[in-house]
Structure 1
Amino acid sequence: MSLLTKKKVEKQISTWNEARSHMNNPRPQFQLQWESEIVEYVQFLWEKTQTWSKKGEPSKLGVNIPLLGPRFLPPSYLHVQKRSGGGAIEPTMQYLKPLNIVHLFYYPQLGQCPRCGSDKDTAWEGWTSKGARELHGLFCEEAALGTQLRCNRCRESSKGKTGGDAASGMVAAIEGYCFATTSAMYWKGWEHWRIPRGLPIFFYRCALTRDLFDLLVELRPSSTSAGLEERVRMLEYLEAVRARECQNNSKNTLGNYFNSGVTSGTCLQAFSEPDDALGYGDKSVSRDTITEVFIEFSTHTRQIESANYLKSLSAICASLDNTFKAANKATLTNKDGQKMKEIKGGILTVLNEGNEIISWRFCQTRTNAEIAELLLGLKHHHDVLGLPQPKMVVADNCCHIRGAVASAMPETEAKLDVWHFSASAIAADISGAILKTHAEHGRPAEYWDRGEQEQCLLAAFDKWAEKGVWSAAAQKVHQEQLKHVRKGCLERSDQHLRSDGSHVEGMHKGWNLLQHAQPSGIVMLSALGHDFVLRRNIRVAFSRRQMTPFVKFTHGSHHIQLSNHVTKLYNGLREKGTQLLPLLPELPDVDSGETFGLVASDNATTFGGLLIKEETLDAKLAHDFEVHTDSFTGRTVDFATEASCGIMIEDWQIDPALLDQPAAQPLLLHTANGSVNVSSTKPPTNSMTASNNSVLAAKVTPPSPIKRKVICVGPAGTKTIDGYFSSGCLLTWYGEPPSAATEGGDPAVSSAGINNSITPDQRYMQKLPPEFSQDHPDHPVLPSTGINNSITPGHPLFLQGCPEGGDPAVSSAGINNSIAVAAGQTRSQRLFSIATGINPHSLTIQHSDEFYLFMNMRAEFKWLSYQMTSKRWVQATEEYNCHLVEKMGRSVIQKNPQALLHALGDIEPKLMNRIIKDEYTSKSNNETFWRYHCSVVPLVKEERGKKPRKVQTCSRCQTIMYPGAENSPLNHKRGYCADGVKQVSKSGEDLPPWPQPQGLFSEGRTFHPHAFLTAVQRVYERVFSQGPGEMDILEMEAFAKLLASRTEIREDGAVLFCLFTDIVVDSSTPRDRIVTHDGNQWLRINFLQQL
């Protein structure tokens, strides 16, 4: 090394030491010496090959100059042995870390600005000022050193600050104009598979070698972050022990080998501890880093390629099922470590006849509405591919989901899978009654037709009944099986398709193996879900004899974006050349607008469609509201017509011209504190979900004395009851209510005393004002993703009646629909908010201020769970939110009624236990707080000579069951709740959700059809033409869920409600109202049939 080079090396070390003087992670001098010498070598190579003239070609290195790098390995003891003057055998030689150089000399593609993409206005300004960056490696820790790139174009744009990044063609997520090639900002726009081979992977808080990154991506789905941390640490400890062994062996064998005193005269030195920062310096990757790396990989790469592959698949026979065990791990964690389960509907998965997953999502509820949302997206997916919709959807609850399938895919049949049918019977005879031949050797099963299945099943049952095999419950199981057979659920129109449903059970095992026996959260489970779906699909597709050309090209690799990039690059080069080589297969690019995994659900964000979501406005649509081309379907949309298309045209034969007829009073949107004048608009379809719901833009107007509520339902052609009661937005108009009588005279009354003559054109369409079709270009509308729905005073939906300092984004139910990501949200809460449109903070009372306010209001208003009706819960929530805003300001996350309901259900048993145990001491060693709140509201009625009873809470209505003395009217009824519905169903049927309107059920045993039909008419009238009245929003939601879950619309237009098997029908019900169909008893709803 020349004297000039030594001075440069010393100057570089001095510069790095000065720049790192304030940092807490010191670096040993021998490592800096090693790195600075490499810098001089690379700088020499760069200058030797640099072009100094504009037209000249780059210089070439001579054959006598060694070409090393970009990964430099430190010298070993072999160099001491083989080179003259190699030095002494010292431990520092083993302490040196490999150095990765990230320089334009080795990677010419780095000369492009990561922000604007320019490669002409860039300049290189030397090496990074603070030296090398630490890297986590597989066997040992390494380092990476990069250079600084300055972009003059970005520098000038930053000075001018004119226009946005998007307008100037810049990447909005990248800031600045000077970038280090070892910074995360430089690589932010790069996919992991696009990073040049051999380069480390850089993140904000850490960096990894390519080998370690690939290992973590490959092994994390089948292991845990803690498990991988332990294994990598063991590998690095093994390498440290081998390094110590190498030193001792070298000292033993080479110490006497040389005659020179340099080596033989050096004394043996102690080897440092593995984690000594100034010695060996081992610090293996942590579990938190592994988690961050895998989530980053999933977010930027795996979710995209998994979704792209799903969109390329299709189905002729789809199998559908929910997995609940794995979904229970998708928890939300707050900053205090408390966990909440909001994914209560399981993981909904759809498979095709080839056993490939073609769609999946996390469901927040178990309603059919979320199934319909997924199937709508799948239907559009097939339309984009130019394929017909699936012929069959096979499920284990075919009759339950038939309405959802019919509403989303009218031409698709819902069938029962054979696996569930024969799982609880004598397998050979029962399956033989359904199947002619079983599936074997790649040949699908062959099915008997419906009539033959019924005969064979009856014969099989009678055969085993004579032998005394069946239990007491077998007759009921047999009858349920016969119902499916008579409905044709087990009949197959296409015998060549694999439709038994058994492969769905294998899919459950795959889901349940994710984080098996380990806790998890919604963020990691979502990332693992995308990875599982892609790996499984590629494995299944590659195992076939006849596979698609693209899957064959991948050779079973799940890195399909890299494979697709290779094919496109090759095909582009092939087109430029003259050689007649075959083109490589590419992955189809299907723009279906679907998303998978954790997605927004219109049903969940609007509480089954009964609550309106506030919307903001898209400036791109502000200029044209009346006519627009729908980006989802490609057709021309008239917004005024589309906003009411569900109650016009096909089903009710209403002329759209009625929308232009004048009305005496304007149509207004009702909220808790104000009113809003409505105009019809329709936003572009949201790519987050496959939803076709219309949304309404609005402006504020002064309130009027009379309020009437109306629903704008979903698209025309809906053939399930969900289309009437759970697919629209609640509105209110002001003015006199429409007359209940028809033009011809008095309304017709049915035999049950129910008015069946009300039609939508009388109750709704004739009252539409001209404002309904007017546009408001000053108020743009965003797609109804449910994201960032907060309302400001300048927003068109700002409520004039909201108190000063209050948050206007509160609906009439006291529900805060603002889900702007608040400070203090954990990663899982933030993901849940963005993906679903629901702020998890609104579902619980967490902070001490919220808790103390709740306790004080409970004491002031004497809240008792067994006295609270759903109407009182809504009023209590509104009052609570107002007090919360006054106390904590407008930025507070306001609460959902469920938050107060659960809080009261949790605190009352705790208070009663304190009363029983006579324990009132708080954590601050004071009894004042608990003694006051235990006595201010009477929870336990003491009986003389008897001990207080243990607290029991009803699992259905969540009220204290026995707050009073024995036989007290305050106590919970034995076996049924306050709405008359039984607590537990012995037959296993789903019970009606709490709370149902009064009078529908009594004593848990009797169902009253007259009250039920009256409630149907009352709900319809109040939703479409009147105010909420006595039936509040929670009762209406619960009743609508009951109605939607058990109602079917037949081909002849009959609307039938399925009666409960273990609940007796009121004997006064006219028999002509009850019909027997498919082995069940059904109640006719003539009122809805006329609609």
Structure 2
Amino acid sequence: MSIFEPKVVLNLLKNSAAVSPIDKSAFEKSWTVNVEKRVSIWKESRNHKTHPRPEFQLRWEAEVVEYVQCLWEKSRPRSKKIEPTHKLGLNIPLLGPRFVPPSYIHIQKRSGLGHQDIEPVTQYIKPFNVIHPFYYPQLATCPRCGSDKETTWEGWTSTGPRELHGLICEETALGAQLRCNTCKESTKMKKATDKNIPGDAEDVQAHQPANLEGYCFATTSAAYWSSWEHWQIPRNIPIFFYRCALTRDLFDLLVEMRPSTTSAGLEERVRLFQIQPTCNANSRLTDYFSGSKSAVKTLQAFSSASDPLAYADKSISGEIITEVFLDFCACTRQKESGEYLKTLSAICGSLDNTFKAASKATLTDKDRQKSRELKGGILSVLNEDNQIISWRFCQMRTNAEITELLQGLKHRHDILNVPQPKMMVADNCCQVRNAVTSAMPETDSKLDVWHFSARYIAVMLQSSKSPYRGAVAADITGAILKTHAEKGQPARYGDRAEQERRLMVAFSKWADKGVWSAAAQKVHQEQLKHVRRGCLERSVQGIRADGSRIEGSHKGWNSLQRAQPSGVTMLAALGHDFVLRRNVRVAFSRPELTPFLKFANGSHHLRLCDYIARLHNTLQQKTTDSQLQLLPELGDIDSGETFGLVMSDHVATFGGLLIKEENIEKGLLDSFDSSVDSTTGEEVDLAFLASRNVIINEWQIDPALLTLPAETSRPMKPSAPKRKAVCISLDSDDEGDASGGTIKKLRTLALPSTEVPSMAPGTGRLDAYFPSVQDHQRCSTRKLPPEFSQDRPVVASTAITPDQGDCQVIPGATTEDCSSAGISNAITPSAGISNAITPSTGVTSDHPVIPGATAEDRPVVASTAITPNQEDCQVIPGATTEDCPVLGSTGINNSMAIAAGQTRSQRLFSISTGIDPHSLTFQNSDEFYLFMEMRAEFKWLSYQMTSKRWVLATEEYNRRLIKKKGQSVVQKNPQALLRALGDIEPKLMSKITKNDYTSRKNRRARQKGPENSPLNHKKGYCADGVKQSSKAAGEELPPWPQPRGIFSEGRTFHPHVFLSTVQRVYEHVFMQGPGETDLLETEAFSKLLISRTEVHESDNMVLFRLFKGFVTDPTTPRDRIVSRNGEEWLRINYLQQ
């Protein structure tokens, strides 16, 4: 930083050895002329016309430029082959590259004129940064071709200085222009084109010099610095972007502070930080004015901070902060985070997903509508040293994505020449065992003790308030561990036989004391299965293998954008930053440091440290007599892994189909306390949250059992499970509601192994809405039809043998219930149905067919008609599961091509995953209606669909969509249809079971189509034209739905249509019979007619009282309207006869 006083510097140069005595006058005149010329050129530039700047700022900057140009002319080399022949003398001032304007004290001490020169303008001048080869000779390298042989400097940037955002105040910067003759002569260059703003998908791919065009670059342009990482830029040079530039101090602050706050919050902090310097500037004006002893003159007012021609202070915006951080992560942080991850390995890994943070990774379309496409959460793996060694966003909840991640980890271990991990610990060990062994055959899948104990805590009576909570947790954990972790020594685990014996003793002990709920027995039996399989054993003792540390890491993931909305672009960038900072912090806190981390001294700028080490080692090797040791370098491991938002072959090719724990990082014994949710402030039972998914969803335990005491004090051997089915019936036990309807009750029937329930088709019963079901008995049973054999597409399973042809798949049934081998093709909980083969023994579905029913109680029926002939349920007529073509040959859009009109987050998602976001959702009503029509035509049911059938269905859907909309339409991915069907079925079944087809407020079916569809509910009035609310006091609105045309737009009553409806209804009901008339409209109209009609026998008139809140159609003849008692009535002549 140098204080630049133009007159002082000019006198020093004029009297120095750089100017001969006879040229002093000419030198000063030339200086003045050049300054005036440069100011006039800047004023005529386009930038100045669009964003005018004060003349005193331009003039002071022109003085600085003339000074630097003078030094450059006196000292620059005349040839690149020789050293500069001219050296600056000792009497020549060497200032820069950052120039600060003089203050009041300089003016006072130089002139002694007191108040005459104490003006606010002195405080308005901004600091000035010069990016010129005089200060930075290393900049003479072409950013496009990298050559420094054929480059020349072509003067200053003609458009004038750029504005800089600073930490204390705003600043400016001016650069020189570099011309590359090699680039000019090698190709025919077009006009230089800017790349997209930082954070776009192109930035994620490269920042490559080859993307540049042109041969002349300004050192203040973003194009010049596009191939430089931020740590490579010389320290005093600001950071330049396409939309803005900022000083290095502010850039460093944003990089360090942005992960712990939001862009808007950081914007406010920077703004408040800059308010104080503004106040200080105003204070200095009054202080120097009051302290001067010269003749007093008028005190001038200090300008407002936002005046562009005065103080002109404008702090950085939150939008710019976002772009700065995204550019930093794309250029530097993502690379160094991945490079460090590839140097890590594991003996025992911990594997888990967290969904809270991943739910913030939304995609935003051009209409600012947000969608969540990353439904699989954030999958991360920790090693025994508590470092994250791999992580990724998962698009689906399938084991295939786990296998893909572990395959990369296995390849890394092979390159590092270290053994494969001995164990992989997870909270769902048996579900991920196939995924682990398929990628790492030598690795065992284990269950972590924290979740194991938490499942027992969750089935205690009043577990959150029980005084025995800690003691139970200690006994359960003690049954698994030989010794607890203490004094830096890891816990040691017993063998499976010992664990089983001690666990049964602990369970019996607390059963005698009555602490268990009715659900505890089944949970205990499921946990014993894990013990007997050896899931709680540890093949390697003496290392941290409990697996609970990954639960603590979830707190860090959930802290990203805490309580704030986000997008996939920002969350991915924050994820890379979080992983690197956490790993470096955890590793640096350990006594055994790697040589490289010890050299980095805990810094997370690893690429900078690695560059220093490599440069030092290169220079040291060139020096033969150097006694210095080589510095440790960051290893370059080419494992081919990518982290964060990655492409999944399984998802991209639709090889499979398409939940969360809150956690703490304390010890196992004291980790079952309550916590406070950071967003709601409510108390959260961590143990119950950790086990609720497994206990309720996976093990099919009724949540009501958790509040009931156990029937016996001793553990009982569980009886063989029975199949269950649900039917809805009307009998004497059904309860009536206030409207005279009937509330249907759920009934659970225990069925023999060869029988399946049927739904009663009567009015109000479930299958009244499925006319293809022809069984008229109420809750009767029947033998299995031949349609449910292995040849039918009910459940596609490679595990069903010819002997299983008559084995019916019933929700809630287990393998023990079937006369032959079990069914291994389990339907996993997801938005759709997974076709992955898992070790689960049951067949479950997460579609809530009946509200309040458990997973065991869910019936086979879904939202569409089920015919006895299952061929009606084929996706494509005549197609079988073997007929599914290869994905590449189908009409499914799986291309990485970036569609026009995509937003930044959509483009990032397209490039990173290879899937167009538009192919995952329906974009308009035409696409939605086509899906609904095909769903009805082909009778698509979720539990019958397999991955191959989804591909066939999507191919047919895309064919029809192209035929209807043209080739320009975005073809759909099978996930779009799968998700749509998974969304619509629960809604339809809920309506059917509740007999509810109207909106809560208006008793009208609301959303018939997608958003903004013309068929959706109108604001202010319903489809029959009646307004939603009446402003007339005491006046009731007509019941819904009225025949069309009587009311319109919520404000007009049409008597002619009303009288015609009176005649039509009367003739149909009393003369011809109901026939095919709309019963709902007829009933509603009759109620309206009866409630507002009076018969006056004195003059033989039937009158209908008109509404005060509606305007009568002006075309109505006046003789039809009668006024009586201050009210208007409509004559109904037809009823007078």
Q: Please, what TM-score do these two structures have when normalized by structure 1?
A: 0.63
Q: Which residue of the other structure, out of 622, 628, 651, is the alignment partner of 1:604?
A: 651
Separation in 1, partners of 2:249, 2:1016: 59
1:294 aligns with 2:368: no
Residue pair 2:208, 2:227 contacting (<8 A) in 1 also:
no
SS of 2:631's equivalent in the other structure is coil
C-alpha displacement at 1:43, in angstroms? 0.7
Equivalent position SS for 1:817: coil
Q: Which runs of 5+ in 1 are unaligned?
A: 162-168, 259-263, 612-729, 731-747, 757-807, 937-944, 949-1091
Map 1:802-817; keep pairs closer than 5 Å. 814-817=891-894
Decide whether aligned partners of structure 1 residues 226 and 475 sit closer, same or farther in structure 2, where only a CA change above 3 A counts.
same
1:917 maps to: 1004
Change (3 A) 1:601 1:79: same
Retained in 1: the 8 A contact 2:151–2:181? yes
Deviation for aligned residue 1:104? 0.5
Match of 1:340 among 344, 368, 371: 371
Q: Among 123, 137, 142, which residue is 2:171 paired with?
A: 142
CA-CA distance at 1:427 after TM superposition: 1.2
Query: Can you list the C-alpha shifts for 1:308-355, whole angstroms capped at 9, x where unaligned?
Result: 000001101111111111111111111111111111111111000000
Tell me which of 61, 68, 71 is aligned to 1:35. 61
Q: 2:299 aligns with which of 251, 264, 268?
A: 268
Q: Distance in 1 between matches of 2:950 and 2:633?
A: 57
Partner residue in 2 for 1:820: 897
2:908 maps to 1:831: yes
Query: Does the 8 A contact of 1:810 with 1:894 survive in 2?
Result: no
Secondary structure in structure 2 of the residue aligned to 1:499: coil
Q: For residues 903-942 of structure 1, give each alpha carbon's deviation from its aligned partner in whole angstroms, at most 9, with x where no partner exists.
A: 68669889964994388999999988989xx999xxxxxx
Partner of 1:470: 516
Shift, 1:439, TM fit = 0.9
Q: 1:485 to 1:99 in 2, by over 3 A?
A: same
SS of the equivalent of 2:971 reads coil
Give the deviation of 1:131 after TM superposition. 0.5
Whole-angstrom distance in 2 between the partners of 1:486 and 1:88: 91
Q: 1:122 aligns with which of 151, 154, 157?
A: 151
Equivalent AA in structure 2 for residue 851 of structure 1: S
CA distance in 1, matches of 2:560, 2:189: 51
SS of residue paired to 2:527: helix
The answer to whether the Cα contact below 8 Å between 2:436 and 2:443 also exists between their aligned partners in 1 is: yes
Residue 556 and residue 924 in structure 1: after superposition, are their counterparts in 2 closer, same or farther (change >3 A)?
closer
> For residue 885 of structure 1, what is the amino acid of its counterpart?
I
Decide whether the 8 Å contact of 2:1006 with 2:1016 is kept in 1. no
CA separation of 1:120 and 1:351: change in aligned 2, threshold 3 A: same
Residue deviations 1:399-420 (CA, integer Å, cap 9, x gap): 1111111100001111111111
Asked whether the 8 Å contact 2:189–2:213 carries over to 1, the reply is no
Q: Is the aligned partner of 1:5 residue 2:36? A: no
Q: Secondary structure at the match of 2:577?
A: helix
Question: 1:505, 1:227 → 2: CA distance?
Answer: 28
- Residues 156, 607 of structure 1: alpha-carbon distance in 2 compared, 3 angstrom cutoff: same
The count of corresponding residues between Structure 1 and Structure 2 is 738
**Residues 944-968 of structure 1, C-alpha deviation per residue, up to 9 Å, x if partnerless?**
x9999xxxxxxxxxxxxxxxxxxxx
CA distance in 1, matches of 2:163, 2:503: 70
The residue that corresponds to 1:584 in the other structure is 631
Matches within 5 A, 1:202-281: 202-254=240-292, 256=293, 258=294, 264=295, 266-281=297-312
Q: Tell whether 2:554 aligns with 1:554.
A: no
- Structural mapping, 1:425-504, within 5 Å: 425=456, 426-504=472-550
What is the CA distance between 1:221 and its match in structure 2?
A: 0.4
Question: Does 2:44 align with 1:18?
Answer: yes
Give the match for residue 734 of structure 2.
none
Give, in angstroms, the shift of residue 23 of structure 1: 3.9
The structure having more radius of gyration, on CA atoms, is: 2
Q: By how many angstroms is 1:172 displaced?
A: 1.3
Unmatched 5+ stretches in structure 2: 1-9, 11-27, 191-206, 457-471, 659-795, 808-819, 821-884, 1025-1037, 1042-1137
1:482 to 1:926, Cα distance in 2 relative to 1, 3 A: closer
* Alignment check: 8 A CA contact 1:814 1:896 kept: no
Partner residue in 1 for 2:574:
528
1:283 alignment counterpart: 314
CA deviation after TM superposition for structure 1 residue 554, in Å:
1.0
Structure 2 partner of 1:151: 180
List aligned pairs for 1:1035-1074, cutoff 5 A: none
1:21 to 1:302, Cα distance in 2 relative to 1, 3 A = closer
Per mean C-alpha deviation after superposition, the further-off stretch among 900-909 and 420-429 is 900-909
Aligned to 2:445: 414
1:995-1025 Cα distance to aligned partner (Å, 9 max, x none): xxxxxxxxxxxxxxxxxxxxxxxxxxxxxxx
* 2:614 alignment partner in structure 1: 568
Displacement after TM superposition at 1:8 (Å): 0.6
In the alignment, is residue 318 of structure 1 matched against residue 349 of structure 2? yes
Instruction: Provide the rounded CA distance (Å) in 1 between the counterparts of 2:971 and 2:246.
Output: 42
Secondary structure in 2 aligned to 1:83? helix
Q: Give me the whole-angstrom Cα distance separating, in 1, the residues matched to 2:974 and 2:1012.
A: 33
Amino acid at match of 1:210: R
Pair 1:452–1:924, CA change in 2 (3 A):
closer
**Deviation digits for residues 842-869 of structure 1 (CA, Å, limit 9, x no counterpart):** 12222xxx42464488679976988898
**CA deviation profile, 1:953-985 (whole Å, cap 9, x unmatched):** xxxxxxxxxxxxxxxxxxxxxxxxxxxxxxxxx
Partner of 2:565: 519
| Closer/same/farther in 2, CA of residues 91 and 104 from structure 1, 3 Å limit | same
- Contact 2:931–2:977 under 8 Å retained in 1: no
State the AA in 1 paired with 2:172: A
Give the deviation of 1:889 after TM superposition: 4.0
Within 2, Cα distance between the matches of 1:866 and 1:576? 73
Query: Quick check: 1:89–1:266 contact (8 Å CA) kept in 2?
Result: no
Contact 1:9 1:36 in 2 (8 A): yes
Q: 1:107: which partner in 2?
A: 136
* Shift of residue 195, structure 1, vs aligned partner: 0.4
Verify the 8 A CA contact 1:95 1:279 in the aligned structure 2. Answer: yes
| d(CA) in 2 for partners of 1:324, 1:400 | 18
1:801 corresponding residue in structure 2 = none
Instruction: Give the alignment partner of residue 76 of structure 2, picking from 50, 54, 64.
Output: 50
How far did residue 3 of structure 1 move? Answer: 2.2
Distance 2:146 2:157 in 1: 21
Instruction: Please tell me the root mean square deviation across aligned C-alpha atoms, in Å.
Output: 3.7
Structure 1 residue 423, shift from structure 2 partner:
2.1
Match of 2:591 in 1: 545
Matching residue of 1:393: 424
Report % sequence identity: 62
Conserved in 2, the CA contact under 8 Å of 1:809 and 1:818?
A: no
560 and 594 in structure 1: CA distance in 2 versus 1, 3 angstrom threshold: same
Of stretches 46-55 and 857-866 in structure 1, the one that deviates more from structure 2 is: 857-866
3-state SS of paired residue (1:328)? helix
User: Is this contact kept in 1: 2:997–2:1005, CA < 8 A?
Assistant: no
| Residues 1:80 and 2:80 are matched in the alignment | no
8 Å contact from structure 1 (residues 922, 930) kept in 2: no
Work out the CA distance in 2 between the residues paired with 1:809 and 1:123: 57
Quote how far apart the aligned CAs of 1:880 are.
5.1
Residue type at the aligned position of 2:638 = D
Residues 75 and 84 in structure 2, CA contact (< 8 A), matched pair in contact too: no
Matched residues in 2 for 1:103 and 1:431: separation?
68
Amino acid at match of 1:461: F
Query: What displacement does 1:604 show?
Result: 1.0
Contact 2:353 2:379 (8 Å CA) reproduced: yes
For 1:846-885, what aligned pairs fall within 5 Å after superposition?
Answer: 846=923, 850-852=924-926, 854-855=928-929, 878=955, 881-882=958-959, 884-885=961-962
CA distance 1:860–1:541, shift in 2 (3 Å): closer
Aligned AA (1:90): E
The residue identity in structure 2 corresponding to 1:303 is Q
- The alignment status of 1:67 with 2:94, answered yes or no, reads yes
